[in-house]
Amino acid sequence: MNRIPDPTPEPILSRSQVPPLNGRPVRKDEIEIHERGIYIESWLPERRSRRKPLLFVHGELAGSWVWERYLGYFAGRGWEGHALNLRNHHWSQTADPATLSFETYTEDVVAAMDRLGPTTVAVGHGMGGLLALKAAERIAISAIILIASELPRDLRPPARSFELREIPEVYGRNVIGWETLPEKLLRDDRDLTLDDVLRIQHLLGQKPHEAGAARRQMLAGVPVDRRVLSEIPRLVIGGGLDRLVSLASTEQLADWLGAEYEPFGAHSHFGLVAGEHSHQQVAEGVRAFLETHRL
């Protein structure tokens, strides 16, 4: 498989190389869906359990790396964690971003859900939350958790034509405000450490690689049929320091879905999932939801 080169790739570690997390051994594995050219990074508890598998879906410009702390947290507590890389992201197959769209990314998520089966709990961040919502229209899952998720069409104000025209065919981290000085990011995202900021900034990419068509479709409005989720547990999480998805937006989404809602007022967009310290409180909230619903 032709994978995107990463200046600092992390190899898939063998069982003996992974240290115990939370006192429980963890092993790493991988799933490759060759027909779609996508790669799923899996962190598994040493001993199989009856807990439902978790499928983590990243957002714009990201990859399985954004979920690394969650993968360790949940595998160390008995859950299988599977972090999808959308096409042309991190370890998945290289593709021309100009040929990709929201629909192609949705197909990637559907393929991953299909591989893991109907007991899967989908966890989406940013655009990954909207992708998980759309994929769930087509394939059964056991629950959905949306972290700072982008909004579906019913909740999104109409996009202005000039805003859509300004999105290039391929874009990079400057579009989401991460092509700036680390000191500014530290001031804006106060839940992140300097190491967090430098790592996220690096892994978001040194060059544009995200599909402009997917962002234009998202901003123009992606329709979602919320009725398909009415019988499964639903959780929406928002961050008070999030500059990409406002706390008010996440509360609106929770109301629209009839979902449980948990706000974290002192958390930023990436701090909710990738912050060295800030991820812990959110992961514990997700864990409480899973345990309450026996997932």
User: How does the average pLDDT of the chain come out, rounded?
Assistant: 90
Instruction: Quote the pLDDT of residue 89.
Output: 87
Q: What is the pLDDT of residues 84-129, one digit of tens each?
A: 999 998 888 888 888 999 999 999 999 999 999 999 999 999 999 9
Q: What is the pLDDT of residues 26-40, one digit of tens each?
A: 899 999 999 998 999
- The CA radius of gyration of the chain, in Å to the nearest whole number, is 18
**How high is the pLDDT of residue 276?**
95
**What number is the average pLDDT over the span 44-52?**
89
Q: Does residue 141 register a pLDDT over 80?
A: yes
**Angle formed by the axes of helices 127-135 and 212-220, to 10°?**
70
pLDDT digits (tens, 9 = 90+) for 69-82: 999 999 999 999 99
SS3 148: coil
Question: Per mean pLDDT, which range of 91-95, 234-238, 244-248 is the poorest?
Answer: 91-95
Alpha helices in the chain (DSSP H): 68-75, 102-116, 127-135, 161-165, 182-188, 194-203, 212-220, 247-257, 271-274, 278-292
| Band of pLDDT at residue 3, cut at 50, 70 and 90 | very low
Query: Is there a contact between 71 and 80 (Cβ–Cβ < 8 Å)?
Result: no
Query: Which H/E stretch holds residue 125?
Result: strand 121-125
Selected residue with higher pLDDT from 10 and 22: 22
Query: What is the pLDDT at residue 128?
Result: 98
| Eight-state DSSP code of residue 190 | T
Cβ neighbourhood burial of 16 (10 Å; 0-12, 13-18, 19+): exposed
Mean pLDDT of 44-64: 93
Range from 177-181, 207-211, 231-235 carrying the lowest mean pLDDT: 207-211
pLDDT of residue 69: 96
Domain 15-292 superfamily per CATH? Alpha/Beta hydrolase fold, catalytic domain (3.40.50.1820)
Q: Where are the domains of the chain?
A: 15-292
Q: How many residues does the chain have?
A: 295
pLDDT above 80: residue 194: yes
Can you spell out the DSSP letters for 26-78?
Answer: EEEEEEEETTTTEEEEEEEESS--SSPPEEEE--TT--GGGGHHHHHHHHTTT
What does the pLDDT read at residue 22?
Answer: 56
pLDDT at 199: 96
- Rounded to two decimals, what is the model's pTM? 0.91
Other beta carbons less than 10 A from residue 201's beta carbon: 18
